[in-house]
Amino acid sequence: MRNRSTLIADPDILIVGGGLGGVAAALAACRAGRSAILTEETDWIGGQLTAQAVPPDEHPWVEQFGVTASYRALRQGIRSYYRQWYPLRSQALALNELNPGAGRVSKLCHEPRVALAVLRAMLAPYESDGRLQVLTEHRALAAHVDGDRVTAVTLHDLRSGNAIEISASYVLDATETGELLALAGAEFSLGTDARAEYDEPHAPDLADPLDQQGITVCFALSHHEREDHTIDVPSDYSFWRSYHPDFWPGPLLGFAAPDPRSLEPVARTFVPNPTEDPLDVSADQSADAGDKELWTFRRVLARALHRPGSFASDITLVNWPLNDYWLKPLIGGEETSQQAVEEARQLSLSLLYWLQTEAPRADGGTGFPGLRLRPDVMGTADGLAKSPYVRESRRARTVTTITEHDVAIALVGPHGGTRYRDSVGVGGYRIDLHPSTGGSNYIDVGSVPFEIPLGALVPQRVRNLLPAGKNIGTTHITNGCYRLHPVEWNVGEAAGALAAHCIDNAVEPHQVQAEDKHFDEFARVLDHSGIQRHWPDIRGY
């Protein structure tokens, strides 16, 4: 437990939220010589990559270009960890582009705790220097505001129950739900936008703040033939066993689900520990979404990549259509939020029990009792992820709002897309929206490689509060391609660098964004840090 006297006194930058955006912001701020405090609600930093247990969703050119230098260092560090400590067979050890799990969703499927180890190592030099302090198990309680400036944030220490107040020149909201925006009274959007506001083809007629993408409570499994690891019957199992959404081809707990792109019913398969050589697995979602075979979709450890006898089973992460939860919005009041998380947890446990007892097998039988829940992989007592996978946040009302007209292939053409004079990074992913609490099915729309405008990080009014994650100035629709791992990292890194630059040069974010002279100076900082701000001429998306 830390008390106020052990904290950095009035750090230059306070970063609330220790997900990928928060970690990247801390690295950028400390790299610029500024002091920072990074807070995190769970006991693991890393957000969707660790506490939420979601392997990285990335564009097809990630191995060559299109990410920041520090994000590339994270990816290289993960691979180096496996090469250093795991009993990889020689062919796998020699791979420059090692995919530790040989999962199909990503070229770098890996275990959450490996990412945690690498992230902690990246921050360690700044912690040793005293420039950075990381406060895990702390949640923001209140933001103190004077006019258009946030003067301090009160945090709740979840271990001791104590409250501490921290003042800083700049405050960054890197929380998973943009909760600091609400605490500070900053303007934000939530849920769906009305079509008339931005004329987006895929927006509904009416705005609805409670119409939000579903969340998922992920978990890890291994499979052990002739063993029985069946869990107790979950309390909500009878409900989830019979639940059949109107837009679903059958019960949610079943291997048939819509194809996200066509919405046509597609049968998934489930084959634990397949015999195919994991070296033959290709992970390229631009060619194949990879989600038709559930075991290998998000597999994070492939036993056959290692010396024989090293592992009894693969490990796979369960983040499937079958355990997406959308009955209640995550952001809709404290009581509703707690209910949503608990019901999502019950759904995931019900899916596991169904897999163990009732799921159809290829041999004509039912159930896979050898499926073993892996609390050790999740770092939890119950085997479920520390926090739900959050796809959607409050979105700051910013100088620039990114809309479907900026990124959708159908609107801009294959060689279009908005090019921003104030670009602070790049990203690439389809507009990928999961079923929502308003009853919408998947919205999966092709998009072009895109840029991240600084204007989407600068609030319209508030002067020293910056969004540093999924809470930038997108719409409900464009959040679907700006919410993924490398983009969240890039946004956080740009926000941390911006805060440090503003302190160093006695300017404000609005000036840096609006005035070419100030932006050009900031752009040189980003370039020097290895942040790619524009795409090369590419094809094939």
Query: H-helix or E-strand containing 466?
Result: strand 465-467
At a CB cut-off of 8 Å and minimum separation 6, what does 421 contact?
Answer: 516, 519
Cβ atoms of 259 and 268 within 8 Å: the answer is no
DSSP, res 193: P
What does the DSSP 8-state code read for residue 26?
A: H
pLDDT digits (tens, 9 = 90+) for 231-254: 999 999 999 999 999 999 999 999
**Whole-number pLDDT of residue 3:** 44
* Identity of the residue numbered 354: W
**Cα dist from 335 to 328, 338, 340, 341, whole Å:** 11, 5, 9, 10
Looking at residue 2, what is its pLDDT? 44
Token pair for 176: 């998973």
Overall average pLDDT of the 422-448 stretch: 97
158-168 b/e (C-beta count within 10 Å ≥ 16 → b)? eeeeeebebeb
- The pTM of the full predicted model, rounded to 2 decimals, is 0.97
Predicted confidence band of residue 5 (pLDDT cuts 50, 70, 90): very low
Helices 485-505 and 516-528 cross at an angle (nearest 10°) of 120
CA angle 465, 23, 82 (to 5 degrees): 165
482 burial (CB, 10 Å; 0-12 / 13-18 / 19+) is buried
Q: Which residue has the tokens 């302090």?
A: 133
Q: What is the pLDDT of residues 27-68, one digit of tens each?
A: 999 999 999 999 999 999 999 999 999 999 999 999 999 999
| DSSP 3-state of 479 | helix
Give pLDDT, residue 248.
97
Cα–Cα distance for residue pair 433/476, rounded to 1 Å? 9
Which residues lie closer than 8 Å to 411 by C-beta, 6 or more apart? Answer: 201, 404, 405
In this prediction, residues 140-162 reach a mean pLDDT of: 97
Report the share of the chain in percent with pLDDT over 70.
98
The tens digit of pLDDT for each residue in 253-272 reads 999 999 999 999 999 999 99
Could you count the other beta carbons within 10 Å of the beta carbon of residue 501?
A: 21
Q: Assign 286 a pLDDT band (cuts: 50, 70, 90).
A: low
Q: Mapped to the 3 state alphabet, what secondary structure does 261-310 carry?
A: CCCCEEECECCCCCCCCHHHCCCCCCCCCCCCEHHHHCEEECHHHECCCC
pLDDT (average), residues 271-289: 85
The string of pLDDT tens digits covering residues 129-145 is 999 999 999 999 999 99
Go through the domains of the chain in sequence order and give each one's CATH number: 4-55+110-192+391-528 (3.50.50.60), 215-273+313-378 (no CATH)
pLDDT band at 403 (very low <50, low <70, confident <90, very high): very high
Cα torsion 24, 27, 30, 32: sign: negative
Q: Is the Cβ–Cβ distance between 426 and 451 less than 8 Å?
A: yes
> What's the whole-number mean pLDDT along residues 504-525?
98
- Amino acid, res. 55: P
pLDDT score of 17 more than 50:
yes
Q: What is the pLDDT of residues 168-199, one digit of tens each?
A: 999 999 999 999 999 999 999 999 999 999 99
Query: What is the per-residue pLDDT for 540?
Result: 65
* pLDDT at 221 > cutoff 70: yes
Provide the mean pLDDT of the chain: 96
Strand ranges inside 67-182, DSSP E: 132-136, 138-146, 149-157, 163-167, 170-173
Q: What is the pLDDT of residue 4?
A: 45
CA distances from 248 to 253, 360, 487 (A): 11, 18, 31
Q: What is the pLDDT of residues 299-340, one digit of tens each?
A: 999 999 999 999 999 999 999 999 999 999 999 888 999 999
Instruction: Answer for the pair 4, 161: CB distance below 8 angstroms, yes or no.
Output: no
Determine the pLDDT at residue 7. 81
Instruction: Look at 334 and 357; give whichever has higher pLDDT.
Output: 357
From 58-67, 104-113, 118-127, 281-290, the region with the lowest mean pLDDT: 281-290
Instruction: Report whether 59 contacts 48 (CB < 8 A).
Output: no
pLDDT at 119 over 70: yes
pLDDT of residue 285: 67
Q: What is the CA radius of gyration of the chain?
A: 22
Q: What is the pLDDT of residue 1?
A: 35
**CA–CA separation, 63 and 482 (whole Å):** 19
Report pLDDT digits (tens) over 457-480.
999 999 999 999 999 999 999 999
Q: Which residues of 327-339 are buried (b: 16+ CB within 10 A; e: fewer)?
A: ebbbbbeeeebeb
Q: How many residues does the chain have?
A: 541
